[in-house]
Amino acid sequence: MHIDEKLKDLLTKANLTGLLAKRYEYVDPQKHMYYYQLHFKYVMQVEKYYMNMQDHSHHYMNMHDHSHHGVPGQFPMY
C-alpha cells in the first residue's frame, strides 16, 4: 500500500510527539504538556488531511461511476 508522503510525515510527527509526551508524563510536567500539545496538533492535522483525501477519492470515484445513478435506494458497494 502506498502512503502519501505528507500523511506519512504527519503520522511520524504525531507518533513521535505522543511517545515523548508519555515519556515525560510523570517526570517533567512542562515537557509533557509541550509534547502533548504538539501531539494533539499533529493528530488533528492527520485527521483533517486523511478526511480530505477520502473526500477527494470518494468524489473522484462518484464522478466516474454512473452505475448507481437513477436507481432509488441503490448505493455503491465498497
pLDDT at 65: 56
Q: What residue segments make up the domains of the chain, in order of their start?
A: 5-55
62 CB-near residues (< 8 Å, 6+ apart) = 76
pLDDT surpassing 60 at residue 1? no
Q: Say what the pTM is.
A: 0.68
24 CB-near residues (< 8 Å, 6+ apart) = 31, 32, 35
pLDDT tens-digit readout, 15-54 = 999 999 999 999 999 999 999 999 999 999 999 999 998 8
Which three three-digit cell numbers place residue 76?
455503491
Closest C-alpha to 11, from 55, 52, 58, 49? 49
- Split at pLDDT 50, 70, 90, the class of 3 is confident
